[in-house]
Amino acid sequence: MAYTIRVAQSEFSFDCEAQTTVLEGAKKAGFDLPFSCRNGVCGSCKGKVVAGTFDAPENLEGLGDEERAAGYTLFCQARPTSDLEIAVRSISRTDPNAIKTVKAKVYKATRATQDVSLLQLRFPAGTRIPFKAGQYLQVVLEDGARRSYSMSNPSTQNDGASLHIRHVKDGRFSHYLDSVVAAGDFLTVEAPFGDFYLRPGDKPLIFVASGTGFAPIKSILETLFKQGKPTRPIALYWGGRRKSDVYMADLPQKWAKQYEHFTFIPVLSEEDNGVDRAGFVHAAVLADYPSLAGHEVYACGVPVMINAARHDFTTKRQLPPDAFFCDAFVEGGVPAPVTS
Contacts with ligand FAD by CB under 6 A lie at 36-37, 136, 147-150, 164-166, 168, 170-174, 194, 212, 215, 327, 329-334
Nearer to ligand FES, 222 or 327 (CB): 327
Nearer to ligand FES, 47 or 252 (CB): 47
Coil, strand or helix: which one is 260?
coil
Q: Nearest residue by C-beta to ligand FES? A: 76
Q: Which of 213, 161, 211 is nearest to 325 (CA)?
A: 213
Examine residue 193 and tell whether it contacts ligand FES (CB under 6 A): no
To the nearest 10°, report the CA torsion of 66, 68, 71, 74: 130
Examine residue 37 and tell whether it contacts ligand FES (CB under 6 A): yes
Angle at 83 between CA 80 and CA 86, to 5 degrees: 80
Total residues contacting ligand FES by CB under 6 A comes to 14
Neighbouring C-alpha atoms within 13 Å toward the C-beta of 227: 12
Residues 89-118 that bind ligand FES (CB under 6 A): none
Closest distance to ligand FES from the beta carbon of 322 (Å) = 14
Burial class from Cβ neighbours inside 10 Å (0-12, 13-18, 19+) for residue 263 reads: middle
Closest distance to ligand FAD from the beta carbon of 1 (Å) = 31
Closest distance to ligand FAD from the beta carbon of 158 (Å) = 17
Residue 7's binding partner among ligand FES, ligand FAD, none (Cβ under 5 to 8 angstroms by kind) is none
Closest distance to ligand FES from the beta carbon of 39 (Å) = 6
Q: Binding ligand FES by CB under 6 A: which of 22, 33, 42, 305?
A: 42
Element (H, E) at 235: strand 234-240
Examine residue 36 and tell whether it contacts ligand FES (CB under 6 A): yes
Give CA–CA dist 218/246, Å, rounded: 13
Examine residue 40 and tell whether it contacts ligand FES (CB under 6 A): yes
Q: Which of 67, 223, 92 is nearest to 155 (CA)?
A: 223
Residue 26's binding partner among ligand FES, ligand FAD, none (Cβ under 5 to 8 angstroms by kind) is none
Examine residue 252 and tell whether it contacts ligand FES (CB under 6 A): no
To the nearest 10°, report the CA torsion of 310, 277, 219, 89: 10
Nearer to ligand FAD, 123 or 214 (CB): 214
Residue 230's binding partner among ligand FES, ligand FAD, none (Cβ under 5 to 8 angstroms by kind) is none
Using the CB atoms, write b or e for 132-158: b if 16+ within 10 Å: bbbbbbbbbeeeeebbbbbbbbbbeeb
Helix axes of 214-226 and 250-258: crossing angle, nearest 10 degrees: 30
Q: Nearest residue by C-beta to ligand FAD? A: 171
End-to-end CA distance of the chain: 18
Examine residue 305 and tell whether it contacts ligand FES (CB under 6 A): no
Examine residue 43 and tell whether it contacts ligand FES (CB under 6 A): yes
Residue 335 CA to its chain's centroid (Å): 15
Q: Binding ligand FES by CB under 6 A: which of 22, 41, 118, 198?
A: 41
Angle at 136 between CA 297 and CA 191, to 5 degrees: 145
Applying CB under 6 A, the residues found at the interface with ligand FES are: 35-45, 62, 74, 76
